[in-house]
Amino acid sequence: MKLWGGRFQKDTDRLVEDFHSSISFDRRLYRYDIRGSIAHARMLARQGIISNDEAALIVRGLEDVLADIEAGRVEFSVAAEDIHMNIEQLLTERIGPVGKKLHTARSRNDQVALDIRMYIKDEIDQIRRLLGELINTLLDMAEEHLETVMPGYTHLQRAQPVTLAHHLLAYVQMFGRDADRLRDCRRRADVLPLGAGALAGTTFPLDPGFVAEQLGFAVVAQNSLDAVSDRDFAVEFASVASLIMVHLSRFCEEIILWSSAEFAFIELDDAYSTGSSMMPQKKNPDVAELIRGKCGRVHGDLITLLTMLKGLPLAYNKDMQEDKEALFDAVDTVKKCLLVFRPMVASLRVNREKMAAAAKGGFTNATDLADYLVGKGMPFREAHATAGRLVYYCLQQGRSLEELSLEEFRRFAPVVEEDIFRAMDIHRCVTARHVLGGPAPEAVKEAIARARIMAAQVCR
């Protein structure tokens, strides 16, 4: 008989039983469910709702159930619907009628809200650590490539010279913001819902503060209706996860481009590449492509959660069972992608010569020419137009700006002097940009030092 079956005169249809059950996916919550139940039992005894002996028997029974689950000796039942009722049923089978007292002053509504919050707090901590490890890897790479000049792009057109270190630090900033967002999300998940019951609390003299202390929650929910129906924290996590995947996907897109023969900026390690079943010469960036593809999967998880919640009246509705698969998938996908992305990036080989050659092409120093003319007293708009005319002249000649003679420069801008050639040097164009957040090696060193502090906080 179902634990809730007293009011019913017929068994659940077998199709409905399978359709209704969530044990196939919420079984991963078993540790949290047992931890929450142990804290609840101890609180019930502390408040005199059950005896100390009964609580001790329940706790021992739950610990035995946990040990058996961990050892793979438990087969969960679809008929018991979910992880909560499976564990309660296993407990009652082992310790007898006392097991039926565990659910006193508790509903599956506040129980599942508790389990999910405990779960997501732990997963956030793990993902933050993975982000911290990735950030440190990127910082290590940046230190190796302070002088590795490459073109910066807008519209995928060569724009201005930067360094690979500077480029990597852009992603450090992105992943740092992701870690901050996860920290904020964790704070809002760190609210104890247990004690809210089904929706209206209970007449028993509970002590939620004791349970919060036992389970490591910062605060107790202030409204019982909201406590059981709130999934904002799950949506917020999926939103942060979606941004993490966007940042990984953007980076992967560049890795895919850079590893092509057209760019040849990098070569991926064989361990993070695959071949073709037909074309023997191929070395495909499949890992990067798959991460890029999985970005849409996590976005879908976010949409699932938003759509599931948008039309629900208070308080709990069965629709909310759909939160778990989307949340679990977002967690799993982000973790798997971070785990494989970091060593893929750490092991790639950089072709400094190719990057430097590309930085010298495409007139990436044209902005520096305009700035030079401004420094000689020319208004910026006039300097911009003059630099554009010089670029057009070079295009007609099939030459670069550095290859022009002083006389040719003066034909367009009489203010030009001998120092124009130093101003046009690609490395000088980079080192001259010693501003906060700029690509000059000294500025990048300072940025790396600041980022190391941030990474240490993320990894804690």
Tokens of 140: 């290590």
Over residues 257-293, the pLDDT tens digits come to 999 999 999 999 999 999 999 999 999 999 999 999 9
Q: How confident is the model at residue 457 (pLDDT cuts 50, 70, 90)?
A: confident
Unique residue bearing structure tokens 């629709």:
319
What DSSP string runs through 253-291? HHHHHHTSTTT-SEE--GGG-B--SS-TT--B-HHHHHH
**What's the mean pLDDT in 203-229?**
98
pLDDT value of residue 361: 92
Q: How confident is the model at residue 130 (pLDDT cuts 50, 70, 90)?
A: very high
CB 275 within 8 A of CB 284: yes
Spell out the domains of the chain, with CATH numbers in brackets.
12-104 (1.10.275.10), 109-145+171-202+218-350 (1.20.200.10)
Q: How confident is the model at residue 71 (pLDDT cuts 50, 70, 90)?
A: very high
**What's the mean pLDDT in 159-167?**
98
Over residues 78-121, the pLDDT tens digits come to 989 999 999 999 999 999 999 999 999 999 999 999 999 999 99
- Note if 276 is an active site residue: yes
pLDDT value of residue 2: 59
- Max CA separation in the chain (angstroms): 101
CB 368 within 8 A of CB 423: yes
pLDDT value of residue 458: 81
CB 229 within 8 A of CB 315: yes
Q: 350 phi and psi, to 5 degrees?
A: -95, 130
pLDDT value of residue 21: 86
- Note if 299 is an active site residue: no
User: For the chain, what is the mean pLDDT?
Assistant: 95
Q: How confident is the model at residue 198 (pLDDT cuts 50, 70, 90)?
A: very high
SS3 2: coil
pLDDT value of residue 8: 58
Catalytic residue among 276, 347, 384, 400: 276
Over residues 333-354, the pLDDT tens digits come to 999 999 999 999 999 999 999 9
pLDDT value of residue 394: 96
Helix extents (H) in 192-322 = 208-215, 224-229, 232-258, 286-310
Q: How confident is the model at residue 20 (pLDDT cuts 50, 70, 90)?
A: low
pLDDT value of residue 459: 72
Over residues 365-419, the pLDDT tens digits come to 999 999 999 999 999 999 999 999 999 999 999 999 999 999 999 999 999 999 9
pLDDT at 10 over 90: no
pLDDT at 12 over 80: no
Q: At what angle do helices 232-258 and 286-310 cross, to 10 degrees?
A: 160
Q: Which residues pair with 142 in a beta bridge?
A: none
What DSSP string runs through 384-445? HHHHHHHHHHHHHHT--GGGS-HHHHHHH-TT--TTHHHHH-HHHHHHT--STT-SSHHHHH
pLDDT at 4 over 60: no
Catalytic residue among 103, 155, 273, 299: 155
pLDDT at 324 over 70: yes
